[in-house]
Amino acid sequence: MRGVIRHEVGEPSVVVQGLLNWFVVALVVVLVVGLRRNIVVVLPALALGLGILYFIQGVRFWRVASQLSAGAHHDPQRPQP
């Protein structure tokens, strides 16, 4: 998984978007074509492994978004009271 961080100037929101890697889709296609009927044996393990990896990355992106949104409320141009 890779990600994009988007922040519009003047907007209070920050968007952290996770994107699927193309080789994951290619791997699934190659396995489906190569294994045909035996894909039902491999697919659950592949789905579980990819699910765990993408969940970990999702948590990381969520942490980045939390840090960025907390930092967006702090304006370095304005002095703190």
Distances (CA, A) of 1 to 7, 22, 33, 45, 58: 20, 9, 24, 19, 9
Which three-class secondary structure string do you get for 2-32?
EEEEECCCCCCCCEEEEECCHHHHHHHHHHH
pLDDT at 55: 94
Of 19 and 69, the structure prediction assigns the larger pLDDT to 19
What share of the chain in percent tops pLDDT 70?
A: 85
Statement: residue 22 has pLDDT above 70:
yes
Domain chopping of the chain, boundaries? 2-72
Q: What is the pLDDT of residues 45-81, one digit of tens each?
A: 999 999 999 899 989 988 988 887 777 555 555 444 4
- Rounded Cα gap, residues 27 and 51, in angstroms: 14
Tell me which amino acid residue 29 is: V
Least confident stretch, 10-14, 21-25, 68-72, 75-79: 75-79
